[in-house]
Amino acid sequence: MISVKEKISNITHLECPVCHRTFPFDQINTYAACEQCQKNPLLSAYDLPGLTKEDIDQKERSMWRYARLLPVLDKKNIISLAEGWTPLLKLNRLSDQLDIKNVLMKDESQNPTGSFKARGLSAAVSKAKELGIKDCIIPTAGNAGGAMAAYCAHAGMNATVVMPAHTPKAFQMECELFGAKLILVEGLISDCAKKVAEMNREGMYFDFSTMKEPYRLEGKKTMGYEIAEQLNWQLPNVILYPTGGGTGLIGMWKAFNEMIEMGWIENRIPRFIAVQSNQCQPVVDTFLQGKISSPIRQTIANGLAVPTPFAQSLIQKVLRESSGTAISVSEEEIIQAVKEIAFTEGMLIAPEGAALLPALKKLVNTGEIKREEKILLLNTGSGYKYFENL
Ligand SMILES: Cc1ncc(COP(=O)(O)O)c(C=O)c1O
Ligand SMILES: [Zn+2]
């Protein structure tokens, strides 16, 4: 049992989303996905009925304003660099140029270490600290590794980051500056995951792999809470999300469902649109054709090069249940979009986030998104680490 001085969380247990078997939250649960449903991550469940908007800590200008809905039990275990509570910007010039009424961008580039991965890793490293973990390892396409290294440094924990050798140098250097051990692997994040499994055969490390560790999702979920709160509890019609492992997509969907259950918002979830690069589009293929049929290659949007997302079935459920869709764009379209957003709005965003612009243009042209709808682009990161790719 964890001893708790100042309890700040309403977490009750972890649950398998398929068979609803429950697991305790005060034990280490990586890879505890239930035996029946190996392919599904565990989701955190909370005592929701008693919570009201008054439980949001208005003085806290970070994602920890929603601490009641996060898994860390004791305030003293929070490892924070002020992640989250990022701005929701109106893209007026782009809206005008595209003849669309209302395009918003949730700008995650303003997080510590320059991406939304800060949220997930702040939650997960905090929870790991609470569980007494010292040695952390992560396979990463870049941003998550930098974030884990930073939060481990802040917590005084040991970090090992396993990254594809072709990842831009800035991602590699930041890990080393944060004191992490960096291991480069030829191939994609899936090859890094194999390396992590091999290195961790003896169980020396705590493995932070996407969706296998249950609490990164909870950190990402706060994007959904912020979108609702910043829009005065009126959700947008459509959310476009650059999808690799799908954590942010599933996280926002989870947040919206929790808020519906608590009565904070009306019972209507935005259409989720998963955007991928056509160099690696397993989510798009599965959504449109029921199986992965396109070749898997590297993309300049490094975070989207995830050949087999662990949470594929949950991603598909979110797309189907929200009446959303999935779409891919080319490398040329992504580079052009990075430039267009930079010179039109003054924002130098990550290629992953930029991929949303050509996707939006296509879906407006086909009529799948209406010009008068409230559209939210979720920009996941900063472009400043990607200069080599551009
Ligand atoms: C900038 C950026 N955007 C998007 C993604 C994909 O995120 P998710 O795993 O939530 O789909 C990543 C993952 O590495 C990323 O770094
Ligand atoms: Zn199960």
Asked whether residue 255 is domain-assigned, the answer is yes
- pLDDT at res. 26: 85
CATH number for 342: 3.40.50.1100
In this structure, the residue with its CA closest to atom 9 of ligand 1 is 245
- pLDDT at res. 25: 87
In angstroms, the Cα distances linking 65 to 46, 79, 89, 188, 294 are 16, 14, 20, 35, 42
Asked whether residue 144 is domain-assigned, the answer is no
Residue 162: beta bridge partners? 139, 183
Asked whether residue 304 is domain-assigned, the answer is yes
Tally of domains within the chain: 1
Q: Judge whether residue 40 has pLDDT over 80.
A: no
Ligand 1 center–CA 51 separation, angstroms: 30
Q: Which numbered ligand comes closest to the C-alpha of 33? A: 2
- pLDDT at res. 253: 98
Asked whether residue 104 is domain-assigned, the answer is yes
Asked whether residue 204 is domain-assigned, the answer is no
Task: Using pLDDT thresholds of 50, 70 and 90, give the confidence band for residue 2.
Answer: confident
CA-nearest of 34, 150, 24 to 82 is 150
- Report the C-alpha dihedral over residues 375, 386, 182, 221, rounded to 10 degrees: -10
Q: Give tens-digit pLDDT for 309-328.
A: 989 999 999 999 999 999 99
Q: Judge whether residue 39 has pLDDT over 70.
A: no
CB 82 within 8 Å of CB 111: no
| Ligand 1 site, CB within 6 A | 115, 117, 141-144, 210, 242-248, 303, 350, 352, 380-381
Ligand 2 center–CA 38 separation, angstroms: 7
State the Cα–Cα distance between residues 207 and 203, nearest whole angstrom: 9
Q: Which numbered ligand comes closest to the C-alpha of 351? A: 1
Q: Judge whether residue 31 has pLDDT over 60.
A: no
Q: Give tens-digit pLDDT for 183-227.
A: 999 999 999 999 999 999 999 999 999 878 899 999 999 999 999
Mean residue pLDDT across the chain: 95
What does the DSSP 8-state code read for residue 387? G
- pLDDT at res. 32: 55
115 versus 23: the higher-pLDDT residue is 115
- pLDDT at res. 18: 87
Domain that holds residue 92: 88-115+215-389
In this structure, the residue with its CA closest to atom 13 of ligand 1 is 303
In this structure, the residue with its CA closest to atom 7 of ligand 1 is 244
Atom of ligand 1 at shortest range from CA of 250: 10
Task: Using pLDDT thresholds of 50, 70 and 90, give the confidence band for residue 28.
Answer: confident
Ligand 2 center–CA 109 separation, angstroms: 35
Asked whether residue 97 is domain-assigned, the answer is yes
State the Cα–Cα distance between residues 83 and 68, nearest whole angstrom: 16
Asked whether residue 312 is domain-assigned, the answer is yes
pTM tops 0.75: yes
20 versus 162: the higher-pLDDT residue is 162
Asked whether residue 266 is domain-assigned, the answer is yes
